[in-house]
Amino acid sequence: MIAVALALAASLSGVAASGWSAELDSPFAVLDTPTSTAVSALQGLRERAADLAMRAMGLVGIQYKYGGNSPENGLDCSGLVRYVFKESRGANLPRTSEEISRVGQNVESHDLQPGDLVFYQTLRHAFSHVGIYLGDNKFIHSPASGGAIRIESMDLAYWKKRFNGARRINESEDKTVH
């Protein structure tokens, strides 16, 4: 877990230090020189993503509970995502992973950023599981009954085979999503 946190911090620091990045799909990516506005916007993005990821990692080990909405009573996958986004950003996301999959904007797997949501087909329908991308092809999730919140690699064959897509929840959507 510490290695993931360090990798996340390093990748986010590199983005902020450069002043802009094409991989952020930012209008600042076309600038020839960084401006204070670009640097400020990227630093804000880095801080929000780092806060969201750190809050999620602080829940590692919490037991899975179907329908669970709180760390005290256990969390299921969508409960984890909802809890972290509520605590970190004040966002009210929908209850199920399938409903959450309709919020935000689609993100290609090669454009994933820490804080993006990753979706999997673990049951007999698409978008039946959700986790939070941490960087370095790792995500955090609440797996299933008998399990606990943990960090896993998206490179594992199990997850690669079941990947449904990813979404990015933008700041403007945070407060209005229900």
Q: Which CATH number fits domain 62-174: 2.30.29.30, 3.30.56.10, 3.40.50.11540, 3.90.1720.10?
A: 3.90.1720.10
Catalytic-role residue among 110, 125, 141, 178: 141
110 is catalytic: no
Domain chopping of the chain, boundaries:
2-55, 62-174
Cβ atoms of residues 132 and 117 within 8 Å: yes
129 is catalytic: yes
Give the pLDDT confidence of 125-137 residue by residue, as tens digits: 999 999 999 999 9
Catalytic-role residue among 110, 125, 129, 178: 129
Helix intervals (H) in 19-156: 36-57, 77-89, 97-100
Cβ atoms of residues 139 and 53 within 8 Å: no
Catalytic-role residue among 77, 110, 125, 178: 77
Give the pLDDT confidence of 66-114 residue by residue, as tens digits: 999 999 999 999 999 999 999 999 999 999 999 999 999 999 999 999 9
141 is catalytic: yes
Place 177 in a pLDDT band, splitting at 50, 70 and 90: low
pLDDT at 9 over 60: no
Distance from C-alpha of 133 to C-alpha of 67, rounded to nearest angstrom: 21
pTM as predicted = 0.76
